[in-house]
């Protein structure tokens, strides 16, 4: 057992947030929906949509029975609406391949549409208590500081990071699953990116970065995501207009969402290519 295990697990037992997808009664589908929604989206923005989604579609089969456009509409303003398409596709595959039940095996999960290594590992671990390395941004930051002694991890996970995470993973599957979510919670609440609360950290005496005097990050520039005036903002405005209208929308109405004609056309073309929007008529558009 790593000397990090006991203090982090004890801290999690005392400080974990009460989140619906972590409760004992949470279904694997609830966990799966949360993992899709939480990609690049904070917990505070996910709580309401997650509850609404599970109320409307309590099972994969319930979602699969609806048109994809309803999934996109219900996604609302969570952002990155392709996640809604992927979740709908995954639900359909679960019905077709697994009798409507979210599979427990990593290989079955990663074979679903829109499910990559992280999501498959997280669902298998958090929903089924399986032993998997779960490397999200929070976990990577905790390991980078506590073990590797650097302020931030690299942009993308490296083989060395995965090897390190594997060596730290407890052998007992149930403990490994608890460990995965405990480290994630520590990174979300204490070992944060901007203002780490080192005085509250349960492993502060073992933290390599803290003991080294918290050396500043000296890797490649960490760029924040721009928003104003970007194609992402334009796409979001067009999607909002289409979501709010349950019928086909004439192209002339899209001008009110985004006045720049060139950018508007480019973004509309990309939404059509992504399958988030369909052409309903010569000059009308709708959700799929």
Residues labelled as active-site residues? 35
Render the burial of 136-166: b for 16+ CB within 10 Å, e for the rest: bbbbbbbbbbbbeebbbbeeebeeebeebbe
CB 141 within 8 A of CB 108: no
Residue 179 and residue 199: Cα distance in Å, rounded?
A: 21
Phi, then psi, of 167 in degrees rounded to 5: -65, -25
CA distance 45 to 244: 19
CB 249 within 8 A of CB 284: yes
For the chain, the 3-state helix, strand and coil shares in percent, each to the nearest 5, are: 55, 0, 40
């Amino acid at each position: 057992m790593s000397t990090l295990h006991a203090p982090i697990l004890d801290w999690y037992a005392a400080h974990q947030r009460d989140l619906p997808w972590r409760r004992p009664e949470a279904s694997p589908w609830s966990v799966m929906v949360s993992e899709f929604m939480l990609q690049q989206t904070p917990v505070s923005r996910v709580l309401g949509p997650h509850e609404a989604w599970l109320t409307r579609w309590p099972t994969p089969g319930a979602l699969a029975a609806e048109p994809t456009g309803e999934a996109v509409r219900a996604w609302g303003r969570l952002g990155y609406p392709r996640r809604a398409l992927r979740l709908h596709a995954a639900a359909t595959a679960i019905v077709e391949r697994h009798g409507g039940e979210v599979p427990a095996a990593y290989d079955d999960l990663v074979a679903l549409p829109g499910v990559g290594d992280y999501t498959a590992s997280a669902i298998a671990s958090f929903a089924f208590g399986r032993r998997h390395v779960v490397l999200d941004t929070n976990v990577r930051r905790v390991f980078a500081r506590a073990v590797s002694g650097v302020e931030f991890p690299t942009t993308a996970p490296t083989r060395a990071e995965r090897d390190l995470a594997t060596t730290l993973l407890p052998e007992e599957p149930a403990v490994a699953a608890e460990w995965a979510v405990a480290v994630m919670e520590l990174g979300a609440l204490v070992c944060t990116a901007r203002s780490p609360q080192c005085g509250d950290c349960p492993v502060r005496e073992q933290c390599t970065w803290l003991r080294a005097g918290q050396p500043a990050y000296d890797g490649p520039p960490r760029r924040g995501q721009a928003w104003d005036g970007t194609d992402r903002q334009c796409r979001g405005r067009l999607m909002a207009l289409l979501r709010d209208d349950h019928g086909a929308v004439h192209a002339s109405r899209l001008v009110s969402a985004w006045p720049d004609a060139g950018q508007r056309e480019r973004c509309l073309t990309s939404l059509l290519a992504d399958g988030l929007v369909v052409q309903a008529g010569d000059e009308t558009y709708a959700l799929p």
